[in-house]
């Protein structure tokens, strides 16, 4: 080969990747390998990640062809609902080898030692009075690192705790804070349904669940019965939510008018699973009708008398006290005594109206008393008065002539 001749670049081999699940939290990752095939019987492998050597499991050993996974990265991401924020994929690495019996035995010994490390960490945290709960400990296969998972409502300064644990075990210590759902994923076992918790067995994406889903499914609203180990609503309420919403959309609205074989009626209630609607007719009868046999009613209801049971009893209107009239009634046209049912307010109003009439009566009485004769004698002046021993004539106080006594008869 001369110097002028250029050498052709070597063709790069296609990267072969295998999908592996690893770690206590069940992470997923793509790991490169150089094998021609993937064994279908041996699924446990030793992988190298950023944390060190770990033991993992191959996902879907029957989905490989020529050592390559049949689905692409985008297809796997679509399978996990478009890769949301809690996407379970983590950083990948390389596939070292298939796990041997020695690797499995070593992993079992590390699991036993991780329990002692968990108790020791809980003891140190209690001595230092740190507001944290140590949930679990994970010792990696290579012994290079110990990962401790804890929960806390606030941020915790655990630097002194890490130094103390590093001096105790002479290895690298990592503390990672997790939430209540991740805690349930690690320590939960079986639920009230008798099955292992979904988040521990297969569920990797924990989608939000709200109370509306429980109400639509008419599940009990007791928090102790619809909450899981994490203290939140059970994830299984979300499984059938889409089906319930689809069935509910087929039911007519409550109090709407529908037409059936027996006439026009009003919708009282609808059942989602059975797809039955309770209809009340104009005569008061109710009937359960299937949704397929209903038709929307667009006409007008015939004006018929409603049954007596459905009538609304009219209550008497309570009126307030009557206002006093401007004109004063004459005594001849005075009304009779009011019945005992009149309230005190009405009596006060009538008393204020009769006040000017009483004044007139008083004036009339005074006029009668003042009606006297011209000489000032009252009625009955012709009567004789008994004679007295006083003189017949009395001298006036002013020294004038004496006047005869009115009580004597002049001869």
CATH number at 285 reads: 2.30.30.140
Q: Give this prediction's pTM.
A: 0.58
Q: Is residue 124 part of a domain?
A: yes
Write down which residue in 99, 116, 133 finishes a domain: 99
Q: Distance of alpha carbon 259 from its chain centroid, rounded? A: 35
77-86, 103-112, 123-132, 223-232: which range is least confident on average? 77-86
In a domain, 111, yes or no: yes
258 with 233, same domain: the answer is no
Return the closest-CA partner of residue 177 out of 198, 154, 161.
154
Q: How many CB atoms lie within 10 A of CB 269?
A: 13
Check residue 340 and give its pLDDT: 45
Residue 316 resides in a domain? no
pLDDT score for 261: 85
33 and 89 inside one domain: yes
Separation of alpha carbons 34 and 15, rounded Å: 8
pLDDT grade for 37, boundaries at 50, 70 and 90 = confident
55, 99 Cβ separation under 8 angstroms: yes
What lies within 8 Å, CB to CB, of 68 at 6+ separation is 14, 16, 17
Classify residue 69: in a domain, yes or no: yes
Q: Of 201, 222, 245, which residue is a domain's last? A: 245
Q: Quick check: is 368 in a domain?
A: no
Pick from 130, 152, 178: which residue ends a domain? Answer: 178
Total domains, the chain = 4
| pLDDT band per the 50, 70, 90 thresholds, residue 77 | confident
Q: pLDDT for 350-401, tens place per residue? A: 555 567 788 888 888 888 777 754 445 444 444 444 444 444 444 444 444 4
The domain of 202 spans 187-245
17: left (phi over 0), alpha (psi -120 to 50) or beta: beta
Cβ proximity of 233 and 212 under 8 Å: no
């Amino acid at each position: 080969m001369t110097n002028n001749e250029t050498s052709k670049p070597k063709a790069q081999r296609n990267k072969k990747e295998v999908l592996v699940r690893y770690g206590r939290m069940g992470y997923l990752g793509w790991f490169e390998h150089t094998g021609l095939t993937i064994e279908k019987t041996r699924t446990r492998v030793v992988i190298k990640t950023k944390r060190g050597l770990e033991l993992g499991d191959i996902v879907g050993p029957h989905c490989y062809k020529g050592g390559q996974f049949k689905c692409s990265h985008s297809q796997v991401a679509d399978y996990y609902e478009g890769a949301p924020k809690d996407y379970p994929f983590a950083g990948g690495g390389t596939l070292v080898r298939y796990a041997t019996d020695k690797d499995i035995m070593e992993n079992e010994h590390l699991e036993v030692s991780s329990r002692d490390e968990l108790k020791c960490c809980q003891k140190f945290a209690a001595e230092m009075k740190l507001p944290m709960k140590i949930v679990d400990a994970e010792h990696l296969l290579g012994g290079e690192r110990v990962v401790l998972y804890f929960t806390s409502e606030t941020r915790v300064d655990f630097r002194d705790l890490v130094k103390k644990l590093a001096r105790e075990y002479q290895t690298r210590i990592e503390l990672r804070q997790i939430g209540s759902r991740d805690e349930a994923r690690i320590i939960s076992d079986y639920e009230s349904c008798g099955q292992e918790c979904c988040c521990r067995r297969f569920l990797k994406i924990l989608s939000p669940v709200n109370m509306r889903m429980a109400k639509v499914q008419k599940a009990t609203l007791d928090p102790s019965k619809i909450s899981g180990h994490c203290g939140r609503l059970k994830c299984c309420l979300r499984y059938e939510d889409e089906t319930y919403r689809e069935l509910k959309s087929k039911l007519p609205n409550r109090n709407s008018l529908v037409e059936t074989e027996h006439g026009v009626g009003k919708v009282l209630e609808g059942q989602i699973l059975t797809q039955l609607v309770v209809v009340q007719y104009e005569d008061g009868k109710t009937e359960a009708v299937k949704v397929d046999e209903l038709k929307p009613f667009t006409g007008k209801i015939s004006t018929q008398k409603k049954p007596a049971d459905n009538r609304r009893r009219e209550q008497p209107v309570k009126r307030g006290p009557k206002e006093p009239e401007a004109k004063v009634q004459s005594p001849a046209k005075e009304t009779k005594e009011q019945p005992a049912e009149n309230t005190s307010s009405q009596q006060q109003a009538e008393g204020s109206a009769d006040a000017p009439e009483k004044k007139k009566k008083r004036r009339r009485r005074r006029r009668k008393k003042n009606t006297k004769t011209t000489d000032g004698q009252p009625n009955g002046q012709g009567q004789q008065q008994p004679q007295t021993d006083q003189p017949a004539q009395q001298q006036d106080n002013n020294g004038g002539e004496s006047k005869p006594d009115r009580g004597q008869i002049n001869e």
